[in-house]
Amino acid sequence: MIIEITEKLIPFSQAQLTEWKSGINKRSLLPDYLNEQEVSLILNQPEYHFGEIHVLKHYHDEGWLGCSSYALGNNYPASEARKAGQEKVRRVISKEKRKRFVEISSKTRDVEYGTGEPDLFLYKPDGEYMFVEVKKQTDRIRPAQFTCIAQILATLDCKVDIVYLCEEGHSHTPKTYCFNLNTFQGQAKK
């Protein structure tokens, strides 16, 4: 089975990025439900986390809760920053689905380090959940990410969005990606 996902464009302004990098009101941009370890990780790596937090805020405004520090399997067992996210995954996704994901992913990729897992895990109080991969500028989906997204689509029965952060005033033609749920491969559509 082949599933196609077309990038969702989310705009940002240079002013938002500058404000984030300078630290002005940075904490106010973070959802209040994040744990202190995750907040600390985000605030200590501002260049790296702007895109994730900007997209997390976008989805939060649409009624989603979520996190950027999580793990689907048994990866990162000692990570305090990922502990709350891992617990959210365990509460929201059934044990059977998580077990199937781990069984399949352990055969096809290095799950010890969470290789390829999307940037965000999102959920709603009603039990709906999804994953979001965030891209910007020249960042592209790597082979391990194609594999992981295909495995998520095949085993967890949820939506996966691929978001491209587009600076206001710049254009970007959304790419469409194809994921083979039988072989766990993927590629950008030509």
Average pLDDT rounded to a whole number, residues 14-34:
72
What residues contact 146, with CB distance under 8 A and at least 6 apart? 116, 177, 179, 185, 186, 187
Domain boundary assignment for the chain: 2-188
Structure-block tokens of residue 169: 């005033």
Q: pLDDT tens-digit profile of 69-107?
A: 888 876 666 777 677 788 889 999 999 999 999 888 887
CA distances 186 to 61, 130, 159, Å, are: 30, 18, 16
Contact 120, 159 (CB under 8 A): no
> How do 129-136 and 159-167 pair as beta strands?
parallel
State the pLDDT confidence band at 17, using cuts at 50, 70 and 90. confident
In the prediction, which pLDDT does 113 show? 46
pLDDT greater than 80 at residue 35: no
